């Protein structure tokens, strides 16, 4: 059986958390596709959000991770993709509800406002929580502007 692939991307403010999460996920047996960035040098977050969002959008069932300082810019960028439901999360419960109620397929983390342990906990929760479907499916079906 092939490994689950998790695409990940970050801006310079999220670089350190990305590197920690990447190692953590590899140690748990995931295959991580790192779209960058690759240092703390200032960059433009859309350059890293779009490739992650594109891969998740074209790969049924795939979930990804994006990280920037506040989470806002990279989240806005990812959500421009019609098939993406990126959720900005700052607590475990938000990550859980994003999956259960919204079928979120990208978790977005605000690196400057969470601890490493909180980031790991949210990622674990996001990837282990299933979409509930049912009454939530109708709502999710109305999200895209197509």
- pLDDT, tens digit (0-9, with 9 covering 90-100), for 91-131: 999 999 999 999 999 999 999 999 999 999 999 999 999 99
pLDDT at 132: 82
Mean pLDDT over each residue of the chain, to the nearest integer: 96
- In whole angstroms, give the CA distance from residue 87 to residue 84: 9
pLDDT at 144: 81
pLDDT at 105: 98
- CATH code linked to domain 5-141: 3.40.1400.10
Quick count: other Cβ atoms within 10 Å of Cβ 101?
A: 16
Closest by alpha carbon to 100, among 133, 140, 56, 57? 133
101 given a catalytic annotation:
yes
Catalytic residue among 12, 38, 50, 101: 101
- In whole angstroms, give the CA distance from residue 52 to residue 146: 21
pLDDT at 133: 81
What one-character DSSP code corresponds to residue 12? G
Contact of 123 with 108, CB cutoff 8 Å: no
The pTM score is 0.96
- Can you give the residue ranges of every domain in the chain? 5-141
* pLDDT tens digits for range 49-60: 999 999 999 998
What one-character DSSP code corresponds to residue 41? S
Q: What is the CA radius of gyration of the chain?
A: 14
Kindly give the pairing relationship between strand 106-110 and strand 86-88: parallel
Beta-ladder partners of 31: 5
């Amino acid at each position: 059986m092939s490994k689950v692939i998790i695409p990940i991307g970050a801006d310079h403010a999220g670089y350190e958390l990305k590197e920690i999460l990447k190692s953590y996920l590899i140690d748990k047996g995931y295959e991580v596709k790192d779209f960058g960035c690759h240092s703390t040098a200032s960059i433009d977050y859309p350059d890293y959000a779009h490739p992650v969002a594109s891969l998740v959008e074209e790969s049924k069932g795939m979930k990804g991770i994006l990280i920037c300082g506040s989470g806002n810019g990279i989240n806005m960028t990812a959500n421009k993709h019609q098939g993406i439901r990126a959720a900005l999360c700052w607590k475990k419960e938000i990550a859980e509800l994003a999956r259960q109620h919204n079928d979120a397929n990208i978790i977005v983390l605000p690196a400057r406002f969470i601890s490493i342990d909180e980031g790991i906990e949210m990622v674990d929760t996001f990837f282990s929580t299933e979409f509930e479907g049912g009454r939530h499916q109708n709502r999710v079906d109305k999200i895209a502007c197509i």
